[in-house]
Amino acid sequence: MFPRIGALGAAALLVGLGASAPASAAPTSASTATAEEQRLDRAAPQEILRRSGFDRRAPELARALAKTRSYAQARRLVAGQGGDLWRRAVDRVQGRGPSGGDLSRDDDRPLYWARLGMTRELRQWEPSGFRLSEKQRARLIGVLETSSRGQDAVTYPRGHKHTKRILVTGFDPFTLDRDVRISNPSGAAALALDGTTIRTAEGPARIEAVTFPVRWQDFADGAVERALRPQLPRVDLFTTISQGRVGKFDIERTNGAWRGGFPDNENLSRTETVPVSDPASQPQWTSTTLPYKEIVAADTGRFPVYDNTSVTEIPAGGTGPVVRPDGPTEGSTAREGGGGNYLSNEIAYRATLLRDRLGLHDRLPGGHVHTPVLQFGAGNTDPATGAVTDPEFVRNRLDIVAQVRGILGAAASSSS
């Protein structure tokens, strides 16, 4: 029996092997490959990299690092190569330039595996001619993470007063020890939508996108707030996005301040109150300000879209968790938001709490969208023997991404 981990985690179990993931694992030293990086040598990641042309990215970084003669030079190199990785991934998904191989262009996985190849090179690199401290190495990896996720490349055109500004976030693939072939439609949507303009009833809307890792520690270290704090005051709408339930979209009404402990991509577990700055003023719940009624009513694609109001709470004065289909009761303690208690709920909680702490609750529509689970074709469900892609898998991802675009259009059209 698996723990109740909410929509993002539970959905993954439906498409996984069914084997129990370890509850925790010891962190590695700076020079040792992480649990994520160790998966790189499996056959599926190598095939994904080879069939997209992204297998060249890590070796290119290694060769360039060998020529650097100072930390400052290495930092500039890493920032440049990380930004280039993000741009190439966006260009590949959006059909610009050569595809680099026969893997379908809409695939988010080449970016994920190429980034891990690059972080592994940085972790194992021994410079020639200067000493690199472990703090400096960690900073270089941080620079690569930020630049290769589009987090320092959010730009909206100036001089377009009537163009709305939309910010979306996506996630890396996860539960990779169950099925290392997994793709995440939220990451695919981020790549497909970044820098694009959609037409809405209120006029054009420009979308910018960033992605985040599936790692508890990055969130505790403030990765979400660092990326979103400069952006929220200048956008007209934001949506955090992750993979949710099979066959349906959910607009999550309420987010909870609780981590349920399901292992992340480093096989590390956290069960605790979501750690944020100024915990004394931390609420147990935050709410969407997306126009959920209008989104649910709109014809956005083939998957049904639900206004999800359910949460799990410990009622005021109570001792055990209770499911509340219509949202939390006064004074209760969070155990699951509408999206569960994994990192999908946490990014929604952090983003909407940041919105509120910036004084933007009444003017900035924002919240979380859960996509359907991205499923392989009926004859390709065994991770041990299955192919890394198939026509139904590609069609499902394209349809989910297209419907995310439709949902954003409906949200922008309904927001004044």
What is the structure's pLDDT at 370? 98
Give the count of domains, the chain. 2
What is the structure's pLDDT at 235? 97
What is the structure's pLDDT at 217? 98
104 and 189 inside one domain = no
Summarize the confidence of residues 287-310 as an average pLDDT. 98
Residue 26: is its pLDDT beyond 50?
Answer: no
Q: Does some domain include residue 157?
A: no
Give me the helices (H) in 258-378, please. 292-297, 343-357
Neighbours of 400 (CB within 10 A): 26
What Å distances lie between residue 100 and 41, 53, 194, 332, CA to CA? 20, 4, 20, 52
Q: Does some domain include residue 155?
A: no
Residue 2: is its pLDDT beyond 60?
Answer: no
Percent of the chain exceeding pLDDT 90 equals 90
> Please, what's the b/e burial string for 165-175 (b: 16 or more CB within 10 A of its CB; e: otherwise)?
bbbbbbbbbbb
89 and 176 inside one domain = no
Residue 415 pLDDT grade (very low, low, confident, very high; cuts 50, 70, 90): confident
Cβ-in-10-Å burial (0-12, 13-18, 19+) of 317 comes to exposed
What is the structure's pLDDT at 129? 86
Residue 10: is its pLDDT beyond 50?
Answer: no
What is the structure's pLDDT at 11? 44
What is the structure's pLDDT at 377? 97
214 and 136 inside one domain = no
179 and 103 inside one domain = no
170 and 142 inside one domain = no
Summarize the confidence of residues 46-64 as an average pLDDT. 98
**CATH number of the domain enclosing 334:** 3.40.630.20
What is the structure's pLDDT at 28? 43
Residue 20 pLDDT grade (very low, low, confident, very high; cuts 50, 70, 90): very low
192 and 43 inside one domain = no
Alpha-carbon span 416 to 381, nearest angstrom: 44
Residue 398: is its pLDDT beyond 50?
Answer: yes
Summarize the confidence of residues 71-86 as an average pLDDT. 98
Neighbours of 73 (CB within 10 A): 15
Could you report the per-residue pLDDT of 343-359, keeping only the tens digit for each?
999 999 999 999 999 99
Q: Does some domain include residue 99?
A: yes
Q: Are 270 and 259 in contact (CB under 8 A)?
A: yes
Tokens of 117: 């190849």
Alpha-carbon span 106 to 92, nearest angstrom: 8
Q: Which helix (H) or strand (E) holds 113?
A: helix 109-124
What is the structure's pLDDT at 160? 73
What is the structure's pLDDT at 17? 34
Q: Does some domain include residue 303?
A: yes
Q: Are 49 and 180 in contact (CB under 8 A)?
A: no
| Percent helix, percent strand, percent coil in the chain, to nearest 5 | 40, 15, 45
Neighbours of 301 (CB within 10 A): 18
What is the structure's pLDDT at 15? 39
What is the structure's pLDDT at 140? 98
Could you report the per-residue pLDDT of 119-152, keeping only the tens digit for each?
999 999 999 989 999 999 999 999 999 999 999 9
- 23-37, 293-307, 327-341, 390-404: which range is least confident on average? 23-37
223 and 368 inside one domain = yes
Residue 51 pLDDT grade (very low, low, confident, very high; cuts 50, 70, 90): very high
What is the structure's pLDDT at 159? 75
What is the structure's pLDDT at 416? 63
Question: 406 vs 30, which has greater pLDDT?
Answer: 406
Q: Are 43 and 378 in contact (CB under 8 A)?
A: no
Q: Which of 121, 147, 173 is the last residue of a domain?
A: 147
Summarize the confidence of residues 75-99 as an average pLDDT. 98
What is the structure's pLDDT at 202? 86
Summarize the confidence of residues 256-270 as an average pLDDT. 98
Residue 221: is its pLDDT beyond 80?
Answer: yes
Alpha-carbon span 381 to 106, nearest angstrom: 20
Q: Are 208 and 196 in contact (CB under 8 A)?
A: no
Summarize the confidence of residues 31-56 as an average pLDDT. 96
Q: Which of 147, 178, 204 is the last residue of a domain?
A: 147
244 and 391 inside one domain = yes
115 and 218 inside one domain = no
Summarize the confidence of residues 4-24 as an average pLDDT. 39
What is the structure's pLDDT at 346? 98
249 and 317 inside one domain = yes
Q: Does some domain include residue 15?
A: no
What is the structure's pLDDT at 97? 95
Which residues, including other chains, have CB under 8 Å from residue 288's CB and lie 6 or more apart? Answer: 251, 252, 253, 254, 255, 348, 352, 366, 367, 368
Q: Which of 112, 147, 182 is the last residue of a domain?
A: 147
Domain that residue 246 falls in:
164-378+386-414
235 and 315 inside one domain = yes
Q: Does some domain include residue 20?
A: no
Cβ-in-10-Å burial (0-12, 13-18, 19+) of 299 comes to exposed
Q: Are 286 and 255 in contact (CB under 8 A)?
A: yes
Instruction: Provide φ and ψ at 273, rounded to 5°.
Output: -65, 140
Residue 29: is its pLDDT beyond 60?
Answer: no
Q: Does some domain include residue 22?
A: no
Amino acid at 337: G
76 and 170 inside one domain = no
Residue written as tokens 């059909």?
95
Could you report the per-residue pLDDT of 175-205, keeping only the tens digit for each?
999 999 999 999 999 999 999 999 998 899 9
Residue 24: is its pLDDT beyond 50?
Answer: no
